[in-house]
Chain A
Amino acid sequence: MSAIPWIILFTPLAAAAVILFLGRFSKPLSAGLAIGSAAAVCVLSWWLFTRPDPTETIRFYWIDFGEALRIPIGVTIDHLSKVMLVVVTTIATLVFTYSVGYMKTEEGYWRYFAGLSLFLFSMLGIVLADNFVMMFIFWELVGLSSYILIGHYFKKDSAADAAKQAFIVNRIGDFGFMLGILLLWAATGTLVFSELTGRVAEFASNPVYLTVACVLVFCGTVGKSAQMPLHVWLPNSMEGPTPVSSLLHAATMVAAGVYMLARIFPILHAVPVALDVIAWVGGITCFAAALMATQQDDIKRILAYSTISQLGYMVLGVASATSADVPMFHLFTHAFFKCLLFLCAGSVIVGMHHEQNIWKMGALKNKMPFTFLAMVVGSLALSGCPLFSGYYSKDLIIGFAVVKYPFLGWLSVVTAGLTAFYTFRLIFVVFLGKPKDDHAKHAEESPLVMLVPLACLAVPAWVAGYGFVEKMFFHVTEPEHVPHILHPILLVLFAAGVLSAFALYRSAAKDPVSIPFFANRLYIDNLYSWIVRNIQDGGAMVLSWADRWIVDLLVVQVPSKLAWACGFVLRFLQIGNIQAYVFFFGAGAIGLLYFLIMK
């Protein structure tokens, strides 16, 4: 029993290793091993889910300096990690299967599946980790696998750059995360989550320290979950293959930040100021990303911004809800419907021969009816249509947010309307209207291996919010004192969003609305490149100057020239006359004797 979590953790790693060495010889072997290991892990996770929590956990000490520093490696099996295990492994199995169809004609097949298996291993490590150091190690490993998979088409400059950007931007957040971990450890002397919770309460006498530590830990979430201001990498990560975007950059990896916040939920709720910071970051991200999404033209980028926006909801939920189950509930439903949306987008992209611009699509409803249906289900869930999963989980977060942070709460209400607008803009432009390109005229439905995962995801995307599912996975309490007008307003905004999208985009051949401020992503990317170009390059120039003139000249050249000059002077004593040498020697000996005796 207690070995099962370890088997779950290491099976994908073993699969990745085998694929890495043998996968290049056989495509079915790579795919089969990856899917097989994911499916096995999925079955084990579901089995684990049905069991009661184990009382004992296996834990060994990786580094043990007695009381001073103990770094354990251990797994934690509780309600939170079991739910996350089920979500991650189920979605991974479906996406792995879908990849067989999507990657059929692509190069680097084995490399791709090895990367996916490595990712699954790393993600499961985050989910199972029972302490900060182990979580941080796997946190970096998912960063690495994300880098490998975004850069799958590394021969394309944009993909290589996007991979690099994702890595570097995450590094900024992870640096804060590491500082936060160290501060918490310095204060409490432990790294294990369950022990931390108890000891932080003793430390309440120094709220400033604790606030700083928690905000720094939150930096990890800002990087990994693409919150403002570190969100720029996520849209660019869409350069990777679409199943990767679906699994890593929509459903699971980016949710790791929220999962981590849920893990330390009791600690965060002992620190009100840190919660305010988290709420503001989440709320602003959620609103700003939705604004950016309204003006994007790339089908995957629209979904990427909506992912950022939904992650903003979850982060806001962490700050405002009374239990970690509320943001986790949205993470749960979001994982299904956003994964579904991305897989549908992938299906559309394959049908369109790898065209991603929505203004070259159109009228795909009849060519790809199945994809259309699945995408509508996903969109309804995303935009919060009643009876679809997103409606339940998102409204819950909005309810809590309106009560605790009225301004951010109402901002997120407006965002809900925007979500409906941009989601259905996508649907109407891609699937209705007239075909705007030759590819769109001849598009064909995707193969069965891609459609079956769509069907398997469409069901949970539809029903994952219903009461019976919620009872099975979560224990959510409804927010109190919610204004009665909130739910009618949300419904009206949903309808307004869909109808305005219908009116504007039903038969538009090109975008009738043009807001450069949103289309250019609020100019944040431009600001960053300006900073890099001027400030960072300026710093680099100063450093280069220091390297050239201080290090190279003062530290290296000057002593070397000095030694050379001494040698140059002294070598004139080498006159090649042995008697002269004897004379120098004798004179020296006599001089030495003279000084020794006379002093």
Chain B
Amino acid sequence: MPTLANYLIVSGGLFSIGLVGVLLRRNILIIFMGLELMLNAANLSLVAFSRFNLGQDGLPGYNAQVLVFFIITVAAAEVAVGLAIIVALYRMRQTTHVEDLDTLKF
């Protein structure tokens, strides 16, 4: 039976992998994947906290688990929008490398 700490370690690991991906990779698609990873790490810790937070009747709460389904649904929509932006960006600039996208720089 895994404890809360195991879940949080996995969640922290996922978040770190995502963050490092965002910080270090130059391809905007990979950065986007890193972002999704961070989002799901947050989802995981939310579900874990909810699972180990027992009510007065000794049963865990399920609100967060339902909430996470909604988050995944919304995230799917958000991914669609994000990918669409990336596709549009690529059509315009013929690149997915963030180093080439510096028009707003002073």
A residues at B contact (CB < 8 Å): 571-572, 574-579, 582-583, 586
Residue of B with least CB distance to A568: B106
Produce 1/0 per residue, B1-31, CB < 8 A to A.
Answer: 0000000000000000001001110000001
CA distance A578 to B98 in the complex (A): 7
Q: Whole-angstrom distance from the CB of B49 to the nearest CB of chain A?
A: 17
Is B92 positioned at the interface, with any CB of A under 8 Å from its CB?
Answer: no
Measured between C-beta atoms, what is the minimum distance from A306 to chain B in Å?
79
Q: Does B105 contact A576, Cβ atoms closer than 8 Å?
A: yes
* Distance from A585 Cβ to chain B, minimum over Cβ atoms (Å): 10
Residues of B contacting A576 in the complex (Cβ-Cβ under 8 angstroms)? 102, 104-105
Contacting pair A586 B19 (CB below 8 A): yes
A575: B residues at CB distance < 8 A: 105
Determine the distance from Cα of A575 to Cα of B106 in the docked complex, in whole angstroms: 7
Q: Are B23 and A577 in contact (CB under 8 A)?
A: no
Interface residues in chain B, defined as those with a beta carbon under 8 Å from any beta carbon in chain A: 19, 22-24, 31, 98-99, 101-102, 104-106
A-B contact pairs, 13 of them (CB 8 A): A572-B106, A574-B105, A574-B106, A575-B105, A577-B98, A577-B99, A578-B98, A578-B101, A579-B22, A579-B23, A579-B24, A583-B23, A586-B23
A576–B102 alpha-carbon span in the complex (Å): 5
Let me know if B102 and A577 touch, CB within 8 A.
yes
B14 to nearest A CB, angstroms?
A: 16
B105: A residues at CB distance < 8 A: 574-576
Q: Which residues does chain A contribute within 8 Å of B31, judged by CB atoms?
A: 578
What is the bound-complex CA distance between A148 and B106, given in angstroms? 60
Q: Could you tell me the distance in whole angstroms from the C-beta of B105 to the nearest C-beta in chain A?
A: 3
Most buried by B among A572, A579, A583, A586: A579
Contact of A582 among B23, B101, B104, B106 (CB under 8 A): B23
A574 to B103, CA, bound (A): 10
16 more contacts with CB within 8 A, not counting A577-B102, A582-B23, A586-B23, are A571-B106, A574-B104, A574-B105, A576-B102, A576-B104, A576-B105, A577-B98, A577-B99, A578-B31, A578-B98, A578-B101, A579-B22, A579-B23, A579-B98, A582-B22, A586-B19
A578 and B22 CA atoms in complex are apart in Å by 9
Give the chain B neighbours of A572 by CB distance below 8 A.
Answer: 106
How far apart sit A577 and B104, CA to CA, in the bound complex (Å)?
A: 10
Q: Which chain B residue shows the least CB distance to A575?
A: B105
Return chain A residues, CB-CB under 8 Å to B101: 578
Q: Which residues of A contact B22 (CB under 8 A)?
A: 579, 582
